Amino acid sequence: MDNRFVKPLLVSALTSLLFACGGGGSNDTTTPPTTPTGWVAGEFAPSEQFKGQCANLNQKNWLRSWSNETYLWYDEITDRDPASIAGVIDYFDLLKTEEKTASGADKDNFHFSMPTSEWQQSQQSGSVMGYGFNYKIVKASPPREVYVSYTEPGTAAVTAGVQRGWQIVDVNGVDVVNANTQAAVDAINAALFPSQTGVQTDFTFKLVGSNEERMVTLTSAQITQDPVMNVKTVSTTSGSVGYLQFNDHNAPAERELYDAFNYLAGQNVSDLVIDMRYNGGGYLAMAAQLGYMIAGSANTSNLIFERTIFNDKYPDTNPITGNALTPYPFIDEYIGFDPDSGISAGAPLPSLDLERVFILTTGNTCSASEALINGLRGIPQSRGFEVVIIGGKTCGKPYGFYPTDNCDTTFFTIQFTGVNNAGFGEYAEGFAPQNYTDGTFSPVRVTGCAVADDFTHLLGDTSEAMFNAALNYRSSGSCPAPTSTAGLKGYAVSDASAQIGESISDERWQTKLRNNRIMTPLNKESQ
């Protein structure tokens, strides 16, 4: 593979390439502007004129010009006077399209910002604020249904015995299932989405398959999430089937995927089930690596994994890096996202050389995870590769961004979309199994079976409904009767049927961070 497609991702390089304003917070209004700040509708100074200047108005002028330059739908932003909006983040939140998709959802539901220090910590270490268990909100309005989806190894939640499928019925004395006041909803959100460490929360769980309840007190902490779990094989009469749970395309995942595929290759698996039901995305380059490790060189050689498309101001040039646009290949080399992984950048990746892959999906399967599905579906039919999805409709995010730092805040705004080797990339309504029937969406139909998330079994258990359906489809080519897969996405949700004040609807940055496709200037030569 041509080495210009891959560059190591180092924290020190990241901080040197991204700009920060030392000591100036995003709400600093005391520093006088050093550049002209008069606003004229439709006229934009170059964003670099305001970059790194942390006075309130200069930050907003930078955001306005930067959005006009790089936002994918820049011509759909309402141009507002920066001085008319008090806060920097409040102004940024308005710098996006207000258009809707065919189903009536927001066209851009992925626009957010966060402190730069927290962004770097999250992506480099996989660390997030939490209790050691993840959860899914199946129903956001009364009677609510919130279930533990899986736990993180080595955390207090595991020590306390918390398990997948336990239903959260009470937090700190607030009835999670039935409470219907705004104060109660705020309390539930505050407990489920902690904003600081060291806060004790009393959870009452209803155990799987019974009415028994158990109260567990947990303390919020920075939790290092395990992106790759439950790597195993299952013996069948027609060969060994590999399984792995892939939760996040973050920096630590590269080494774990490398080790997992080396193990599976050594087991001579004839098929693979990748459980991505809770994988919201991350680094696009890692999706391109994973595509290669699944399909191998015979299926991916000389093919595009994804061709990146920016707004119409930049038909041939990447506006972030300034380089000529060059398509992403299926990447066959180790990149070195985590410099402490012990593997040198450029080392060849293992591959299984499979002819198909089974991917388990839900509404939490998003962005870079969808890019994997789309990239593999771009392999020509003449090469005989097949993607089978088992589960529910994916979230529908064929878009991505370069995280950009200014004055100690990192901003995430949609800057590109992409198409696969066949030139396809329009899946804003998501991918769904061919027999999916829930909702009013019009997803892209893919070979596979609609199966609901099964909270009565652990992930990786061959009796768990999605995994079991994949194994049965592999042997018989048939699906079980479709089950409802319309459960809401499980990090921040809103329920359109809920009355005001009833629906859990947290909108903190952690939610959107888990559902994204990320590139950085360090991948600049891949553009």
> Residue 420: CA atoms inside 13 Å, Cβ hemisphere, count?
22
CA–CA separation, 167 and 212 (whole Å): 11
CA–CA separation, 428 and 444 (whole Å): 9
Q: Give one DSSP letter per residue of 58-83, joined into a string.
A: HHHHHHHHHHHHH-TTGGGS----GG
Q: Which domains does the chain have, with CATH numbers?
A: 8-110 (no CATH), 128-224+488-512 (2.30.42.10), 228-485 (3.90.226.10)
Which has the closest alpha carbon to 260: 275, 247, 279, 242?
A: 242
For 322-362, write each residue's pLDDT tens digit.
999 999 899 999 999 888 899 999 999 999 999 999 999 99
User: CB-based contacts of 122: which residues, under 8 Å, 6+ apart?
Assistant: 128, 250, 513
Q: What is the DSSP letter of 477?
A: S
CA–CA separation, 47 and 82 (whole Å): 14
Strand partners, 150: 134
Q: CB count, 10 Å around CB of 460?
A: 18
Q: Residue 403 in contact with residue 342, Cβ under 8 Å?
A: no
The token duo for 311 is: 């707004």
Q: In this structure, are strands 304-309 and 328-329 parallel, antiparallel, or unpaired?
A: antiparallel
Ranges of H-type helices in 215-363:
251-266, 284-300
The amino acid occupying position 243 is Y
In tens digits, the chain (527 residues) has pLDDT values of 443 333 323 222 222 222 222 223 334 444 434 444 589 999 999 999 999 999 999 999 999 999 999 999 999 999 999 999 999 999 999 999 999 887 788 889 889 998 998 887 766 655 778 999 999 988 888 999 999 999 999 999 999 999 999 999 999 999 999 999 989 998 998 999 888 899 999 999 999 999 999 999 999 999 888 999 999 999 999 999 999 999 999 889 999 999 999 999 999 999 999 999 999 888 889 999 999 999 999 999 999 999 999 999 999 999 998 999 999 899 999 999 888 899 999 999 999 999 999 999 999 999 999 999 999 999 999 999 999 999 999 999 999 888 899 999 999 999 999 999 999 999 999 999 999 987 777 899 999 999 999 999 999 999 999 999 999 999 999 999 998 765 433 332 222 223 334 545 444 434 444 445 445 443 423 32
For 394-444, write each residue's pLDDT tens digit.
999 999 888 899 999 999 999 999 999 999 999 999 999 999 987 777 899
Q: CB count, 10 Å around CB of 143?
A: 9
What Å distances lie between residue 489 and 140, 248, 364, 493, CA to CA? Answer: 10, 16, 6, 6
What is the pLDDT, as a whole number, of residue 216?
98
What is the pLDDT, as a whole number, of residue 527?
28
CA–CA separation, 470 and 243 (whole Å): 11
Strand partners, 308: 418
The token duo for 236 is: 């069948």
What is the pLDDT, as a whole number, of residue 2?
40
What is the pLDDT, as a whole number, of residue 117?
87
Residues in the chain: 527
Q: Give one DSSP letter per residue of 337-406, joined into a string.
A: SSTTSSS-TTPBPP----SEEEEEE-TT--THHHHHHHHHHTS-GGGT-EEEEEES------EEB--EEE
Which has the closest alpha carbon to 285: 156, 173, 402?
A: 402
